[in-house]
């Protein structure tokens, strides 16, 4: 047997009946010969891991804009933490870990510079709207590999598109959806404590007494609760989130923690003081490139011809890192300093 065939055989031996099996994938938009070494989902994971958009995540904001320190999360470290949590959930529930990992690694590829502040501004500016989960799918379908796309399987594409608020077609997609929230809520607490915005004791005891008094304890509680409650058939689930569910007590505390973070951090002026400047930069860049399409790189000019100027400009700006966006803004709008002789 080829290594790929051995892996496919192992999936049918070990995975639960609700898992997605690599040899039963619904396929790709463009048919390809199979790899002798890797399953279809393993190939997708590798394609995402090696693509340019994935590398750029290391210079994109998670929550804190341009933090003065090396230990704050970026969009890349967030993605890696989501992947680790999602894989833990998938392994324990005997879901397809390769599919889960591929979805997790690709779920934020379409995120803008400056985090959700940048996303909100592009959503305001574009007549088509802008959402990072839709852009992530556009990245893997169209923008990567100089416009050729990554040609991923439909299961991975579905999980990427639906990781935020839609009904995923696979249980692996649900695992990533929960892992995403578990990761960002807890690492954002960690970063907020590092920034002096929060102290651990600020979190209400009604939450910490249930979930735990540290980041790792809370993650463990949330993940274990999901695993202990298992997988539920779609027809017996209470809404789409009922397919994976926590215990009533843990879910209540989790929702209280979510609300606490929005009130204390995500809308905190100390945390968001620079967001307006970042959004103004994006607005200036958007206006400049829609008025000067010839200034776009050649690939994006071609995209403008096929998809319209607004969409191509969103493609270009959303792909920028924080640093590149700032440098581009300086080059376009700030006069060069006089040279001192």
* Number of domains making up the chain: 2
9 lies in some domain = yes
Tell me the pLDDT of the chain averaged across its residues: 93
Tokens of 194: 């590092």
Q: What is the dihedral of CA 169, 175, 176, 179, to 10 degrees?
A: 160
Do residue 97 and residue 224 come from a single domain?
yes
- Let me know whether 38 and 89 are in one domain: yes
Looking at the structure, do residues 232 and 301 belong to the same domain, yes or no?
Answer: no
Alpha carbon 156 to chain centroid, angstroms: 13
Query: Do residues 324 and 261 both lie within one domain?
Result: no
Q: Which of 250, 272, 294 is the last residue of a domain?
A: 272
Cα-Cα-Cα-Cα torsion 321, 323, 324, 326, nearest 10 degrees, comes to 120
pLDDT score, position 165: 81
Average pLDDT over residues 322-338: 89
293 lies in the same domain as 153: no
The CATH number of the domain holding residue 7 is 1.10.3210.10
CA distances 89 to 82, 84, 95, 109, 251, Å, are 11, 9, 8, 22, 16
How many Å apart are CA 184 and CA 179, to the nearest integer? 9
Asked if the model's pLDDT at residue 234 lies above 90, the reply is: no
Domain extent at residue 179: 3-272
Residue 215 lies in a domain: yes
Strand partners, 231: 244
In a domain, 339, yes or no: no
Tell me: do 231 and 247 sit in the same domain: yes
Give the CA count within 13 Å in the CB-facing half-sphere of 139.
Answer: 31
Whether residue 310 is contained in a domain is answered as yes
At 56 the pLDDT is 97
pLDDT score of 52 more than 90: yes
**Confidence band, pLDDT 50/70/90 cuts, at residue 336:** confident
**How many C-beta atoms surround the C-beta of residue 199 within 10 A?**
9
Q: Answer with the one of 223, 254, 272 that is the final residue of a domain.
A: 272
Residue 105 lies in a domain: yes
The pLDDT tens digits of the residues spanning 141-164 come to 999 999 999 999 999 999 999 999
Residues 160 and 37 in one domain: yes
Judge whether 253 and 206 are in contact, CB under 8 Å.
yes
Residue 233 is predicted with a pLDDT of: 79
Query: pLDDT tens across 240-276, in order?
Result: 556 888 999 999 999 999 999 999 988 887 767 788 9
What is the average per-residue pLDDT within 85-113? Answer: 98
- Whole-Å CA distances, 337 to 79, 141, 330: 39, 42, 11
Query: 173 and 217: one domain?
Result: yes
**Is 146 inside any structural domain?**
yes
- Tell whether the model's pLDDT for residue 103 goes beyond 80: yes
Based on the fold, state whether residues 37 and 132 are members of the same structural domain. yes
3-state secondary structure of 74: strand
> What pLDDT sits at residue 266?
85
Q: For residue range 307-325, list pLDDT tens digits in order.
A: 999 999 999 999 999 999 9
Whether 244 and 128 map to the same domain: the answer is: yes
Q: What is the pLDDT of residue 242?
A: 67
Q: Which of these, 113, 170, 106, 164, lies nearest to 139 by C-alpha position?
A: 106
Burial code (b: 16+ CB inside 10 Å, e: under 16) for 298-335 equals: eebeebbeebebbbbbbbbbbbbbbeebbebbeeeeee
Residue that terminates a domain, selected from 252, 272, 292: 272
- 295 and 184 within one domain: no
Dist CA 254 CA 169 (whole Å): 25
């Amino acid at each position: 047997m080829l290594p790929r065939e051995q892996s496919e055989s192992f999936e049918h031996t070990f995975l639960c009946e609700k898992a997605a099996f690599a040899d039963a994938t619904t396929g790709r938009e463009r048919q390809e010969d199979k790899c002798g070494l890797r399953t279809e989902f393993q190939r997708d994971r590798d394609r995402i891991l090696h693509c340019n958009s994935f590398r750029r995540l290391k210079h994109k904001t998670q929550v804190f804009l341009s933090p003065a320190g090396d230990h704050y999360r970026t969009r890349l470290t967030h993605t890696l933490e989501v992947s680790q949590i999602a894989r833990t959930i998938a392994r324990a529930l005997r879901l397809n870990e390769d599919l889960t990992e591929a979805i997790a690694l690709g779920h934020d590829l379409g995120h803008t510079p400056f985090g959700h502040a940048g996303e909100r501004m592009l959503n305001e500016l574009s007549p088509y709207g802008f959402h990072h989960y839709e852009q992530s799918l556009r990245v893997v379908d169209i923008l990567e590999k100089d416009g050729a796309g990554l040609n991923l399987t439909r299961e991975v594409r579905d999980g990427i598109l639906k990781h935020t608020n839609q009904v995923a077609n696979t249980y692996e997609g649900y695992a990533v959806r929960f892992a995403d929230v578990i990761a960002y809520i807890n690492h954002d607490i960690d970063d907020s404590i590092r920034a002096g915005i929060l102290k651990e004791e600020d979190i209400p005891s009604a939450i910490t007494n249930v979930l735990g008094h540290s980041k790792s304890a809370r993650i463990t509680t949330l993940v274990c609760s999901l695993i202990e409650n298992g997988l539920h058939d779609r027809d017996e689930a209470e809404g789409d989130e009922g397919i994976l569910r926590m215990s009533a007590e843990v879910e209540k505390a989790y929702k209280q923690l979510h609300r606490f973070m929005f009130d204390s951090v995500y809308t905190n002026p100390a945390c968001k003081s620079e967001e307006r400047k970042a959004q103004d930069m994006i607005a200036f860049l958007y206006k400049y490139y829609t008025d000067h399409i010839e200034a776009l790189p050649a690939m994006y000019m071609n995209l403008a011809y096929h998809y319209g100027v607004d969409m191509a400009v969103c493609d270009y700006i959303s792909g920028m890192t924080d640093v590149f966006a700032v440098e581009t803004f300086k080059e376009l709008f700030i006069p060069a300093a006089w040279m001192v002789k």
